[in-house]
Every structure is written in C-alpha cells, then in structure tokens.
Structure 1
Amino acid sequence: MMESPFPLEPTAAEAQAAIAEEFAFFGDWSERYQYLIDLGRKLPAFPEEWKSEEHRLLGCQSMVWIVPEGNAQNLRFHAISDSAIVSGLIYLALRVYSGRSAEEILATEPTYISDIGLAKHLSPTRSNGVAAMLAFIRDTAKAQS
C-alpha cells in the first residue's frame, strides 16, 4: 500500500475545515486556481499501467483515472488527471475521503465544495467531473459497507 501524500486529519470533517481555512487565505479566484494547480502537483506518481480504460473515470471532460484499494475499515483512492486544475480537485477530494472507513465516507457530504466557493467557479463540465468522482468514491464505499 502506498503512503498518503495528504495531511491526514483525524476525520473527514476536520479535513474539510482545514481546506476551507486554507482557501480563506486567498483573496481572489486567480490565486485559488493557482493553489489548486499547486495541490495537484502534490499527487503521488500514478503508475502508467493504471492509466487504462478499466480505471478511467467517465463523466469527466479531462482524462481522469482512479483506483480504489483497501476495505470497509480503510479505503484509499489513487487518482490522477491530465489537467492541472482537475488534479487539484482530485487532491481535495482524496484529502477528505481517502484513508477513511466506508461508513465515514458515506456519512460525509462534500461541504468543502460550497465552503470554498468552488461550486460557483467551476465550469459545468468540471462540476460534472467532480460529481462523477465523488459518486465513484461513494459507490466504492457503499460496495464495501
């Protein structure tokens, strides 16, 4: 199992609060987009053999691959995109949900999206992609619980 590149807050709720706090430091959306791009660069290396149709997330305009591992007590997700901003969005979702139990994943609504104003600043296709990624994470947790 690969090590987590994310600061692992004790709970998903605390991870969401930390994300909201970090984004509050930035005055405008150009700075927030740059921060998202910087976060995306922190994603760990993603094995080339995982970049297959089997792991491709449908519903995203960009190419996104996501691989789950673990069990109901500890589900981890590995993901990457060919888009810098989408990679940042992946980083945020994995920070909240990866390394959590299926029960905690299912009990945690992604409030960080509205808390940081992301919902208003994503194009419809990016919003659809984020929704597809969150649905994949929830569906994986449901299948494990």
Structure 2
Amino acid sequence: MTIKEQQDTIIEEFSFFTDWTEKYEYIIQLGKDLPLIDEQYKKEENLIKGCQSKVWLHAEHRDGKIFFTADSDAIITKGLVSMVVRVLSGQSPAAIADAEIYFVDAIGLKSHLSLTRSNGLLSMLKQMKMYGVALKARGI
C-alpha cells in the first residue's frame, strides 16, 4: 500500500467510531498490536527527542525501502507510534521524504491530544521523515 492508501485506510477505520472514548480505545488496541521492537534497539540513541514518554524508533534500510520498528512506555503513545509506523514503514526513502501526512488532522487527533503528546507525535513524524530525506539525498 502507498502512504496515501495507508492514511486513507486509517481515516476510514476511525470514521466508524462515534466518540473519542471509542477512538482512544482503538488507539490503545493499535498499540497493543504493534510488533515488538528488538530489545537491542531500545537504547538512548533511538529515543525520540521531544516526547514526554519514552519512544524508541529504529529504522532499517533494505531492498530500497525503510522499515521502522518502534515502542513506547506509554500506552496511548504506543498506539500513536503504531499508526505512523503503519503509514511510513516499507516505503521508499523518497516517498517518506516527500509524504504529506494528513491522517492526523483528518481523524481529529491533533485537537484531542495534549500539547506534549501532539509535540511528541510531530517529533516522531519528523524523525521518520528525516531518515527518508537523508537516504534520498544520498541517492539510496
């Protein structure tokens, strides 16, 4: 699936929920379903700066694509991480670098997160896009 298709799927999934309690429960479930990051990547250099909770992000480049694994020590944050990993993992560096991330606004997430969580989400997205930018610039 393309980045756009992944985002559209998430938007569609959230459209089935009528209130934010249900949406938060779904976000928590997404976090529980996030594949575990290998413990060797839970180190200081993989921590996302700007997140109130701990978020580890590991990127691996193979076969012309970037694959992300991540984890968080906070359940809501882990759900947020799972969505951005779902959208961007397995895409080319150029696609990630050039991606317009619109699902956050489309599902109303930005207005329902605390300022610290919102900033953390932006930091995650920024870091993931930076991996794409760096590899794209190297022509990889």
With the shorter chain as reference, the TM-score category is over 0.9
Q: Which residue of 1 aligns with 2:81?
A: 90
Q: Structure 2 stretches of 5 or more lacking a match?
A: none
Task: Decide which of 74, 82, 85 is 2:65's aligned counterpart.
Answer: 74
Q: Structure 1 stretches of 5 or more lacking a match?
A: 1-9
Q: TM-score, normalised by structure 1?
A: 0.90
- Alpha-carbon distance, 1:47 to partner: 2.0
- Alpha-carbon distance, 1:43 to partner: 0.9
CA contact (8 A) 1:102 1:142 kept: yes
Distance 1:107 1:139 in 2: 10
Q: Report the CA distance shift for 1:72/1:132 in structure 2 as closer, same or farther (over 3 A).
A: farther
Q: Report the CA distance shift for 1:72/1:102 in structure 2 as closer, same or farther (over 3 A).
A: farther
Give the counterpart letter for 1:20 in structure 2: I
Q: Which residue of 2 aligns with 1:3?
A: none
Q: Report the CA distance shift for 1:11/1:81 in structure 2 as closer, same or farther (over 3 A).
A: same
Task: Decide which of 30, 52, 63 is 2:54's aligned counterpart.
Answer: 63
- Alpha-carbon distance, 1:106 to partner: 1.8
**Structure with the largest fraction of helix:** 2
- Alpha-carbon distance, 1:72 to partner: 8.2
Distance 1:26 1:125 in 2: 24
Task: Decide which of 8, 28, 41 is 1:50's aligned counterpart.
Answer: 41
Residue correspondence of structure 1 range 1-145 to structure 2 within 5 A: 10-71=1-62, 73-145=64-136
Deviates more, 1:43-52 or 1:80-89: 43-52
Over residues 6-52 of structure 1, what are the superposed CA-to-partner deviations in whole Å (9 max), with x where a residue is unaligned?
Answer: xxxx2100000000000000000000000000000111122222111
Q: TM-score, normalised by structure 2?
A: 0.94
Distance 1:120 1:111 in 2: 13
Distance 2:40 2:64 in 1: 26
Equivalent pairs, count: 136
Distance 1:72 1:131 in 2: 27
- Secondary structure class of the residue paired with 1:125: helix
